[in-house]
Structure formats: structure tokens, C-alpha cells
């Protein structure tokens, strides 16, 4: 991301020159949702950078009620003009501080991500990491849902869907699983994606490309180049914000949930990653498998070894595991491979140069908090490098075959990844030492995460499912 400002003076001059009316301060709660507070431009004064803007952290699950006061301080390097406001508005992402001491609030997700970057430097493994999340999402024409004692229902509509062909009469719908790189007029969303990409680039988020994804009824993908960890997490939340707001402006609705449609492709947040040091991509080895060297192999082994616990952050919703089922190119096996989309770790065949060599961890989805999800993957990889783990010796491959075509007894030889949120949370309770290294996470934060996510799982588990009525009502 290209910073718009490197000093308060430049930001203040921008406010005057562009006749900015409002300053919007955005920040992320522990669970990955953005919140904001808005100030008149006259309040944008140097004291703001020292005093910040107070808010109640207990209302967002960040603190206890007895000690809820926190403050927001804008990160000037993240400033951008928000295109969705009726009046000129300058937005900043914020750092969260303790209200009394003004020290960094330890549960601020951006601060956690920064601690992970600092730990990478002190670990001796590298000096920074680079991340390239793939943003997959659905754009629908409408969505409705209802949950109560006597009703449980939802419905989505898409003009691209084959189920609408009898109503629309154009014949240009997309068949199930037929959306990959679809072209207009079947692809009705190319203009929407273009608007999203233009707005992201205007905010300083570079875009590689966009296209229609496999899911026929409105699935899309946008990719960015690889970015430093905190910038990549910032870009993830910006992409979600811009996508939702652009769809909203056009009378549509967008969702990043992993599995909004039964029987159709799910949406992931595949995480391409590298470790750099001394100006070089430390994963690169022209003689290695997939052009990756020993450091990359150990890093991958760390992610696969800790994969179940990592998924408590990369796949922290019950809906995550509706996507992670056999078929649909679902990465449910703890293996790595060159180009094999059924593997948890895939090495792109086209990433075969010194700067591009990398791998992608495929299970993640966008229901996670990207700051925590990226940090957890980085810490798992660092642990693998420090322990010199060998992915082949641990049984992680490489496997260059479609494991879904194997007989059950052969598939059973591969370590499976969690198939439910509860499994991932249990793994995090058992395997958390690597997350505590360098003080990046704390035991209290991990406990808080498990408690919150386990309550979500219970809320879903306790409710009768609509399909259960069809299956069992007459028994």
C-alpha cells in the first residue's frame, strides 16, 4: 500500500486543500469486524495524535466492563479518501491505546500483527514476510433470513443463477460450477468488480486482477500483489468494506461467508506467503521442489504441523466447515503439493522465479480476523524453521495426486485437518505454545477467543436445522 501521508502536517494540508468535511476513524475488534467514529474536520488537530479519541472497549469485547476505556489514534500512513460518503471524508485506520497510560493495547489486532512481524525479525528467520490473500466472495441481488422459535429460513437471489433462467428469458445464466472466468453476458458482475478495483487502487491498495469465480450465481475473485503482513491485513478489511459498500450502492449485496449456497463452490481466503531477508526471497531455490528451498520446506511443515490450531483463527466460524468438505477443490488434507488444489498447501507452478517463488495455504476464509489469522500462520511457519521440521519425514508429502480419487484406506494415511469449529478449538487448547512465542499472543487472549467461538458453535448446534424437519418430521 502506498502511504498518502507521512506526517500530520501533510494530512492537515490535504484536509484544507480538498475541503475535507469529516475525519472517519476505523478500527478492528478482536473478532474481525470494523467499527468507526467520525469527527468534524475542525477536530483534526495535532493533539489528536497524542490524546486520541476515547471509546468503550467493553462494548466490543475488547476489555472487561470494569476497565473499558480505550483510545483511538489514527495511523497517518493509512489515510484515504472514503468514496462512499456524501461529503468529502478522510479515513484512517487506527491504533488502539490504553486510555490512562497511552501504551499499546495488547488485544488490538493490528498490534498483535505488528508483534508477529517483530518476532520474525528477532527470530533470525527473516526480516519481513509478504502476503497475498485471494479475495473470494459472492455478489447477490438480494438476501433475506429469519430465525425464531418457530422459523428458520434464508433465501438469496442472483440474476446469474441458472434457477432464474425461466424468469429472465435471456438464456445467459451460468450453470452450477460453471462460473470460472465466465465472460459477459453470462458474467454480469464485471462492472461491479471493476468499480471495486478502481476504488481500492485509489485507496492505495494495488490490484493484480479480477475475474468471475467457479460459483455460477455471482462468485467473484480479486487478487492483490504480495504485501507486508500488516498492510495485507489492512487491505483485506479494506477489500471487504469496499466490496460490500459498492454492491450496496448498486442495489446488490456482497458476502464473504465461506458457504452461502448448498451444492455450489465456497469462498476462501487463500494466503500466498513468502519470507524475505537481506533483500532476497528466502523461500527461493531453483533446484528445489516447486523452486522452494529448505527454509520454505520447514516453514510449510510448521504450518501443517500446527494446522489444526491455526485453523481456529483462519477458519473460526461454523460456516467455515460447510466449505471444507470433500469435493469443490476443498483443502482438507494436511499435505503439500505442486499445483494440487486438494492439498492444504499448494505451490503455484507459475511462481518459479527468485521474486515470485512462494506457496499458498488454502484452508483460510474471510470470517477470520486477518491480523490474527496471518500472525498465527507466520508463527507456525517460524516454529517449523527454528525446529528444522521436514515435511516429508512428517508425512506431509509432497502428494501430486487428487487424494479424493484415492480409496478410503489410503486417504486415511494422510493427517486430516479439522472438520468442525469445535475440533479446531480443541486443537488450539492443546497446541498453543508456538503462538505464545515472543509475546505475540497471550494465554488470556487465546482463552477469550476459544470461549467466544465455542459459544457461537453452541448457538448453531442448539438450533433445529430446516433440513431436519424434512428428514425427521414424519418419524
Whether 8-105 shares its CATH topology with 117-472 is answered no
Contact of 307 with 434, CB cutoff 8 Å = no
The distance of Cα 327 from the centroid of its chain, to the nearest Å, equals 22
Closest to 312 measured CA to CA, from 322, 320, 304: 320
Give the model's pLDDT for residue 66. 47
> pLDDT, tens digit, for every residue of 26-49?
999 999 999 999 999 999 999 999
The ranges assigned to domains in the chain are 8-105, 117-472
Decide yes or no: CATH 3.30.590.10 for domain 117-472.
Answer: yes
CA distances from 52 to 3, 16, 37, 97, 112 (A): 21, 21, 12, 8, 20
- Residue 45 and residue 48: Cα distance in Å, rounded? 6
Segment 373-379 mean pLDDT = 98
28 vs 65, which has greater pLDDT? Answer: 28
305 vs 416, which has greater pLDDT? Answer: 305
Contact of 46 with 8, CB cutoff 8 Å = yes
373 vs 169, which has greater pLDDT? Answer: 373
> pLDDT, tens digit, for every residue of 379-433?
999 999 999 999 999 999 999 887 778 888 888 888 989 999 999 999 999 999 9
Q: Which residues are catalytic?
A: 56, 134, 136, 213, 221, 270, 341, 360, 362
Segment 251-273 mean pLDDT = 96
Contact of 128 with 276, CB cutoff 8 Å = yes
341: three-class secondary structure by DSSP? coil
CA distances from 171 to 41, 142, 261, 265, 345 (A): 51, 21, 22, 22, 38
> pLDDT, tens digit, for every residue of 430-447?
999 999 999 999 999 999
User: What 8-state DSSP symbol labels residue 415?
Assistant: P
Indicate the helix (H) or strand (E) that contains 242: helix 229-249
Choices 3.10.20.70, 3.40.50.150, 3.40.640.10, 3.40.50.300: CATH for 8-105: 3.10.20.70
Percent of the chain at pLDDT exceeding 70: 97
Amino acid at each position: 500500500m502506498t502511504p498518502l501521508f507521512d506526517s500530520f502536517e501533510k494530512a492537515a494540508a490535504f484536509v484544507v486543500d480538498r475541503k475535507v468535511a469529516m475525519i472517519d476513524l476505523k478500527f478492528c475488534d478482536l473478532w474481525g469486524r470494523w467499527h468507526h467514529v467520525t469527527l468534524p474536520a475542525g477536530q483534526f488537530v495535532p493533539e489528536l495524535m497524542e490524546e486520541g479519541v476515547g471509546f468503550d472497549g467493553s462494548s466490543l469485547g475488547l476489555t472487561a466492563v470494569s476497565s473499558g476505556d480505550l483510545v483511538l489514534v489514527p495511523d497517518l500512513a493509512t489515510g484515504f479518501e472514503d468514496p462512499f460518503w456524501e461529503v468529502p471524508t478522510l479515513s484512517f485506520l487506527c491504533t488502539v491505546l490504553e486510555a490512562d497510560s497511552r501504551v499499546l493495547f495488547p488485544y488490538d489486532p493490528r498490534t498483535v500483527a505488528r508483534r508477529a512481524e517483530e518476532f520474525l525479525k528477532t527470530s533470525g528467520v527473516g526480516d519481513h514476510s509478504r502476503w497475498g490473500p485471494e479475495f473470494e466472495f459472492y455478489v447477490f441481488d438480494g438476501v433475506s433470513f429469519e430465525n425464531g422459535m418457530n422459523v428458520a429460513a434464508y433465501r438469496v437471489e442472483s440474476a446469474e443463477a441458472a434457477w432464474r433462467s425461466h424468469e429472465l428469458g435471456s438464456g445467459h445464466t451460468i450453470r452450477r460450477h460453471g462460473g470460472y472466468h465466465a465472460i459477459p453476458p453470462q458474467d454480469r458482475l464485471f462492472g461491479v468488480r471493476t468499480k471495486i478495483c478502481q476504488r481500492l487502487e485509489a485507496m492505495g491498495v494495488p490490484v493484480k486482477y479480477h475475474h468471475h469465480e467457479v460459483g455460477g450465481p455471482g462468485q467473484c475473485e480479486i487478487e492483490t500483489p504480495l504485501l507486508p503482513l500488516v498492510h495485507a491485513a489492512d487491505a483485506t478489511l479494506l477489500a471487504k468494506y469496499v466490496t460490500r459498500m459498492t454492491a450496496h450502492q448498486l442495489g446488490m449485496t456482497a458476502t464473504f461467508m465461506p458457504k452461502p449456497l448448498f451444492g455450489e463452490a465456497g469462498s476462501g481466503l487463500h494466503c500466498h506467503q513468502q519470507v524475505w531477508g537481506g533483500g532476497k526471497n528466502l523461500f527461493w531455490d531453483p533446484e528445489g521442489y516447486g523452486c522452494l528451498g529448505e527454509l520454505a520446506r520447514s516453514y510449510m511443515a510448521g504450518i501443517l504441523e500446527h494446522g489444526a490450531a491455526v485453523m481456529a483463527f483462519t477458519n473460526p466460524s461454523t460456516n467455515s466447515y460447510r466449505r471444507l468438505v470433500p469435493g469443490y477443490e476443498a483443502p482438507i488434507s494436511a499435505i503439500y503439493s505442486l499445483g494440487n488444489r486438494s492439498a492444504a498447501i499448494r505451490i503455484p507452478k507459475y511462481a518459479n522465479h527468485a521474486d515470485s517463488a512462494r506457496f499458498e495455504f488454502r484452508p483460510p476464509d474471510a470470517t477470520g480476523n486477518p491480523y490474527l489469522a496471518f500472525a498465527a500462520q507466520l508463527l507456525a511457519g517460524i516454529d517449523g524453521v527454528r525446529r528444522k521440521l521436514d515435511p516429508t519425514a512428517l508425512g506431509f508429502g509432497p502428494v501430486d495426486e487428487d487424494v479424493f480419487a484415492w480409496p478410503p484406506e489410503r486417504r486415511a494415511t494422510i493427517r486430516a485437518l479439522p472438520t468442525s469449529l469445535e475440533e479446531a478449538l480443541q486443537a488450539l487448547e492443546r497446541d498453543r505454545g508456538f503462538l505464545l512465542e515472543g509475546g505475540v499472543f497471550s494465554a488470556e487472549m487465546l482463552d477469550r477467543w476459544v470461549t467466544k467461538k465455542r459459544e457461537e458453535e453452541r448457538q448453531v448446534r442448539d438450533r433445529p436445522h430446516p433440513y431436519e424437519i424434512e428428514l425427521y418430521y414424519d418419524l
